[in-house]
């Protein structure tokens, strides 16, 4: 919190003699009387009062996108792992997090994930390795990193086959409570995994408290260091990437399932979660799809 100066209590040069008992007694009296409030525990501090509520952000984002195609939007506040707090305090904070979540009318509409499913794969593989269910070699971990940072497709395909990708999607959906997320109908077509903006946002909201802290931090660090150009040469700098300064991002693109192009972007800015899932007719080029998604992301306050 910024301050405008130093405010002293009492004389500028306090006496060096005398007993400190009187100030202590006075403080106790003031506390009991309710004149001086005790300092709140850090874990109970939540969203700053000046932060713009998601319910105010979402309509602006939807309007900025225009009529290029279909856009699902969710803006939320990420939960953080709490320690040494009561159950009541934890429940109250969860309620405040839910109160800082909003989406447009398409937030629950299913979309193919394209490369967003790679977030689910990486989280589940890190989780299974930590619990001893599988062993990840150094090369596997290097592949996981490039799969997230550079959206590497061969890495995703390799993990999908070796570790049962459909099971990974189902396991993540169960652990995070993602009711509208399911494996693809066609085996091996991992980009056709289905999810919603609401589910994807909830995954990111809950990541710090469901995943092991080290795994959550690693996944978010890979997102924070995404490469401008993907492994397949696609320019990843659209939507949240480059538009929201300092965002940890994951990008997705796919053409042309059902005659549609899909361009997706998620961003973590501080503790704010932004999910943008878009669909345009294949007749609309990537340029038009990117321009619309950039405008949507630009409507999110920094």
pLDDT at residue 38 tops 50: no
What digits encode the pLDDT tens for the residues 134-152? 999 999 999 999 999 999 9
Q: What is the pLDDT of residue 99?
A: 62
pLDDT at 12 over 60: no
pLDDT, the chain, mean? 84
Beta strands, E only, the chain: 70-77, 102-103, 111-112, 194-195, 248-255, 260-269, 272-281
Beta-carbon contacts of 190 under 8 Å, excluding residues fewer than 6 positions away, are: 117, 121, 156, 157, 160, 165, 184
Per-residue pLDDT of 168-220, as tens digits, reads 999 999 999 999 999 999 999 999 999 999 999 999 999 999 999 999 999 99
Domain ranges in the chain?
48-80+88-298
pLDDT over threshold 50, residue 80: yes
pLDDT tops 90 at residue 48: no
SS3 172: helix
What is the reported pLDDT for 51?
Answer: 74
Q: Strand 70-77 and strand 194-195: pairing? A: unpaired
Contacts (Cβ under 8 Å, ≥6 apart) of 193: 112, 113, 117, 120, 169, 181, 182, 183, 184
pLDDT for the residue 302: 81
Beta bridge partners of 251: 265
- Which residues, in sequence order, are bridge partners of residue 273? 76, 268
Residue owning tokens 């709490």: 82
Across 106-121, average pLDDT: 98
User: Is this structure's pTM higher than 0.75?
Assistant: yes
- Residue 90 binned pLDDT confidence (cut-offs 50, 70, 90): low
Give the whole-angstrom CA distance, residue 241 versus residue 6.
40
Task: Please tell me the chain's helix, strand, coil percentages from 3-state DSSP, rounded to the nearest 5.
Answer: 45, 15, 40
Nearest to 245 by CA among 176, 297, 193: 297
Largest CA distance in the chain: 84
C-alpha distances out from residue 10 to 14, 26, 283, Å = 7, 13, 73
Are β-strands 248-255 and 260-269 bridged in parallel, bridged antiparallel, or unpaired?
A: antiparallel
User: Could you identify the residue written with the tokens 């001893």?
Assistant: 132
Under the banding of pLDDT at 50, 70 and 90, the label for residue 242 is confident
CATH class of 48-80+88-298: alpha beta
Is the pLDDT reported for residue 52 higher than 50?
A: yes
The pLDDT of 53-71, averaged and rounded, is: 96
Cα→Cα distances 100→79, 103, 128, 162, Å: 11, 10, 31, 39
Give the rounded percent of residues in the chain with a pLDDT score beyond 70.
77
Percent of the chain topping pLDDT 90:
74
Contact of 77 with 47, CB cutoff 8 Å = yes
């Amino acid at each position: 919190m910024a301050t405008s100066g130093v405010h002293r209590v009492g004389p500028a040069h306090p006496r060096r003699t005398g007993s400190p008992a009187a100030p202590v007694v006075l403080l106790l009296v003031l506390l009991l009387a309710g004149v001086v409030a005790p300092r709140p525990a850090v874990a109970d501090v939540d969203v700053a009062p000046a932060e713009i509520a998601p319910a105010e952000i979402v309509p602006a984002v939807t309007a900025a996108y225009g009529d290029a195609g279909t856009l699902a939007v969710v803006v939320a506040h990420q939960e953080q792992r709490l320690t040494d707090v009561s159950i009541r305090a934890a429940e109250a904070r969860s309620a405040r997090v839910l109160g800082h979540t909003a989406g447009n009318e398409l937030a629950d509409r299913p979309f193919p994930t394209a490369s967003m499913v790679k977030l689910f794969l990486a989280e589940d593989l890190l989780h299974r390795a930590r619990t001893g269910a599988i062993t990840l070699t150094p090369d596997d971990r290097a592949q996981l990193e490039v799969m997230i940072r550079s959206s590497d497709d061969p890495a995703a395909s390799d993990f999908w086959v070796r570790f049962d990708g459909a099971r990974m999607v189902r396991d993540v959906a169960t652990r995070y409570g993602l009711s509208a997320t399911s494996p693809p109908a066609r085996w091996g077509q991992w980009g056709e995994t289905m999810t919603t903006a609401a589910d994807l946002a909830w995954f990111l909201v809950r990541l710090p408290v469901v995943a092991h802290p080290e795994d959550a931090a690693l996944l978010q660090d890979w997102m924070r260091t995404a490469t401008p150009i993907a492994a397949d040469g696609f320019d990843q700098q659209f939507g949240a990437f480059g538009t929201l300064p300092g965002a940890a991002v994951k990008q997705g693109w796919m053409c042309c399932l059902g005659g549609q192009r899909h361009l997706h972007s998620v961003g973590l800015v501080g503790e704010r979660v932004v999910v943008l899932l878009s669909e345009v007719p294949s007749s609309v080029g990537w340029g038009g799809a990117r321009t619309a998604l950039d405008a949507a992301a630009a409507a999110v306050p920094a």
